[in-house]
């Protein structure tokens, strides 16, 4: 993998990841861009203890541009984009409309100075990851070699963001499909460097602490023994529907060895993930005979603590419960975080196996 660092017209970092050394990334960003303004703030909910990000500047972010003006496509004559080069393999750049930023300033305080609701700068980093220069492509249509380059990119950025001031957890993820809320259709994902450990991770760590170690290893062993909910397997990874699945389509991809994060994976584990994940994604797209809208995200250990309690895994889920029907997160799910699934995990697994 070749790694080339450059900067966009407003000073943001852009990094090209190439399969070989053949490409020289020398194109300059010719746009006249104003400086990035990212005054994000975090506030702690006094009732739950969870942090909430305030990023009002994101209201002006790019929203569903026509394909010929896609900001994630390579630059073409007369149509400059976020990527100055005429082509690329994988590229990462700082988000122009970040939820968390190194530009966030200020001192920890409380709302209205009353001491009840803590506030702090939203110090962190948000990056965009473009998986391919093909605007009409999809992650499921990448080759195993292309997926491996994406995995190496995620690992590289996880290691870099872990060293970024203020970052406590790194979360690479992909949102796919309008039903999920995607506003740019070009195949891409994001990476958030959070200034706190996320609520879901905190809860999983608390359960692991009570259990005396990561629960996921026991779950993996049970799923491998049963096979009832297993979707796909490889030498180093198993994909299965979790036994208490929340979503109409819900899959976890788990390495057979406990590692805290993506940089800890071996070459063999990265290669095997590429094959197993493509199998899973292609089953997902075959499930309803249409591209499945989904969210796929990596659960990684916090940067500075509880790494021995963490077990890296990828979670994929979809709101699509039939070809033309969505699961809405209404009263119980949104109001009380109590999930009600319209299908059993065993039914979901069987549908995905049959879709293969």
Rounded to two decimals, the pTM is 0.96
Taking a C-beta distance cutoff of 8 angstroms, is the pair 338, 332 a contact? Answer: yes
- Give how far Cα 82 sits from Cα of 157, 187, 191, 259, Å: 19, 14, 17, 34
What pLDDT does residue 251 have? 98
* Annotated binding-site residue numbers: 70, 73, 135, 186
What structural domains and CATH numbers belong to the chain?
2-197 (3.30.428.10), 200-355 (3.30.428.10)
Number of H helices, E strands in the chain: 6, 17
Active site residues: 188
What pLDDT does residue 37 have? 80
What pLDDT does residue 35 have? 87
HSE-CB for 289 with a 13 A CA cutoff = 2
* Annotated binding-site residue numbers for Zn(2+): 70, 73, 135, 186
In angstroms, the CA 247 to CA 348 distance is: 9
What pLDDT does residue 101 have? 92
3-state SS, residue 205: helix
What pLDDT does residue 22 have? 85
What pLDDT does residue 115 have? 94
What pLDDT does residue 91 have? 98
In angstroms, the CA 237 to CA 313 distance is: 10
pLDDT tens series, the chain, 356 aa: 999 999 999 999 999 999 998 889 989 999 999 988 878 899 999 999 999 999 877 766 776 788 888 999 999 999 999 999 999 999 999 999 999 999 888 899 999 999 999 999 999 999 999 999 999 999 999 999 999 999 999 999 999 999 999 999 999 999 999 999 898 999 999 999 999 999 999 999 999 999 999 999 999 999 999 999 999 999 999 999 999 999 999 999 999 999 999 999 999 999 999 999 999 999 999 999 999 999 999 999 999 999 999 999 999 999 999 999 999 989 999 999 999 999 999 999 999 999 97
3-state SS, residue 92: strand
What pLDDT does residue 63 have? 67
Beta bridge partners of 83: 74
3-state SS, residue 249: strand
HSE-CB for 332 with a 13 A CA cutoff = 6
Tokens representing 180 are 């999920």
């Amino acid at each position: 993998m070749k790694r080339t660092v450059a900067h966009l017209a407003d000073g943001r970092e852009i990094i090209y990841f190439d399969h070989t050394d053949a490409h020289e990334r020398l194109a300059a960003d010719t746009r006249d861009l104003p400086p990035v303004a990212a005054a994000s703030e975090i506030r702690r909910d006094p009732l739950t203890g969870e942090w909430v990000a305030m990023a009002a500047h994101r209201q002006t972010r790019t929203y569903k541009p026509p394909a010929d003006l896609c900001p994630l496509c390579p630059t073409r004559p007369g149509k400059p984009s976020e990527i100055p080069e005429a082509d690329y393999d994988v590229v990462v750049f700082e988000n122009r409309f970040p939820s968390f930023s190194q530009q966030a300033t200020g001192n920890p305080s409380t709302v209205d100075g009353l001491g009840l609701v803590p506030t702090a700068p939203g110090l962190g980093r948000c990056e965009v990851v473009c998986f391919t220069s093909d605007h009409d492509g999809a992650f499921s249509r990448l080759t195993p070699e292309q997926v491996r380059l994406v995995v190496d990119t995620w690992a590289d950025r996880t290691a870099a963001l872990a060293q970024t001031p203020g970052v406590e957890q790194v979360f690479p993820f992909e949102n796919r499909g309008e039903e999920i809320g995607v506003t740019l259709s070009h195949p891409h994902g994001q990476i958030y460097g959070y200034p706190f450990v996320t609520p879901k991770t905190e809860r999983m760590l608390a359960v692991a602490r009570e259990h005396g170690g990561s629960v996921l290893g026991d779950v993996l062993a049970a799923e491998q023994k049963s096979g009832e909910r297993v979707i796909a397997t490889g030498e180093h990874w198993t994909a299965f529907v979790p036994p208490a699945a929340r979503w109409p389509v819900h899959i976890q991809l788990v390495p057979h060895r406990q590692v805290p994060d993506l940089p800890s994976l071996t070459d063999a584990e990265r290669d095997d993930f590429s094959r197993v994940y493509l199998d899973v994604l292609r089953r997902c797209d075959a499930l309803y005979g249409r591209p499945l809208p989904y969210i796929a995200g990596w659960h990684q250990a916090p940067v500075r603590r509880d790494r021995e309690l963490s077990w890296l895994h990828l979670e994929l889920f979809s709101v699509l419960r039939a070809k033309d029907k969505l699961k809405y997160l209404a009263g119980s799910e949104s109001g009380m975080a109590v999930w009600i699934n319209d299908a059993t995990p065993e039914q979901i697994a069987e549908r995905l196996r049959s879709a293969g």
